[in-house]
Amino acid sequence: MPKPIVYFARHGQTAWNAERRLQGQLDVPLNELGRTQSSRCAGILRDLLARDGHDFGTLDYVSSPLGRARETMELIRGGLGLAPTGYRTDPRLMEMSFGRWEGYTLEELKLREPESLAARELDRLGYVVPGGESYRQLAARVRQWYDEIGRVTVVAAHGGVCRALMDELGAMPNTSGSTGEIGQGVIYVFNETGLARYE
């Protein structure tokens, strides 16, 4: 039996996204552009759900527990005419933990921790960030979440989570670990035929 469709929104932009800082599991709020992007997601999703014949109120809505994803979900639900807080959270959808690297840019880390960065380059999938986790650990928890879904689901989460889901479902095999740009203000649709992006 095919898995239900997943409609995935990466959270909108934060100030740290704009500065290219590693946020990981630190709770950085959306900025004004991020709120605009999240509202744009609501419009895209409304059209997709109507096209696909879904009743907005009968779907499962789940978010990462981090504030930037929750605010994105609440803006999406409000844009669909649903109660903003009528969703659940799942910690398995949190962004990859970057441990003591969180808050720094890669340029800053090249000066502070060149040895750690070099070690990660040798094993991008398996390297455990100091105080954090590896891309493989992220992918394992995302896969566990996905294997449990039972109905059409709308998700608000993070770029790393989206990449891991792409990898686990074979939509974008990832040999280098948590790389590649995941758009903000767009909707990714995962279904039995693959992956589509709408903006």
pLDDT digits (tens, 9 = 90+) for 48-106: 999 999 999 999 999 999 999 999 999 999 999 999 999 999 999 999 999 999 999 99
**Residue 134: CB atoms within 10 Å:** 20
What pLDDT does 177 receive? 44
CATH 2.40.128.120 given to domain 6-198: no
What's the rounded Cα separation, in Å, for the pair 132 and 160?
14
Helix (H) or strand (E) holding 195: strand 194-198
Q: How far is CA 71 from the centre of its chain?
A: 13
What pLDDT does 117 receive? 94
- Asked if 11 is an active-site residue, the reply is yes
Crossing angle for the helix pair 67-79 and 32-51, nearest 10 degrees? 50
> Which strands sit side by side in the sheet containing 6-10, from one edge to the other?
88-89, 60-63, 153-157, 6-10, 187-191, 194-198
Q: b/e map of 29-55 (b: 16 or more CB within 10 Å)?
A: ebbebbbbbbbbbbebbeebbeeeebe
Read off the pTM. Answer: 0.94
Q: Which of 11, 102, 158, 168 is catalytic?
A: 11
Find all residues with CB under 8 Å of 155, minimum gap 6, and list them. 6, 7, 8, 9, 62, 63, 93
What pLDDT does 193 receive? 81
Helix (H) or strand (E) holding 48: helix 32-51
Q: Which of 95, 102, 133, 168 is catalytic?
A: 95
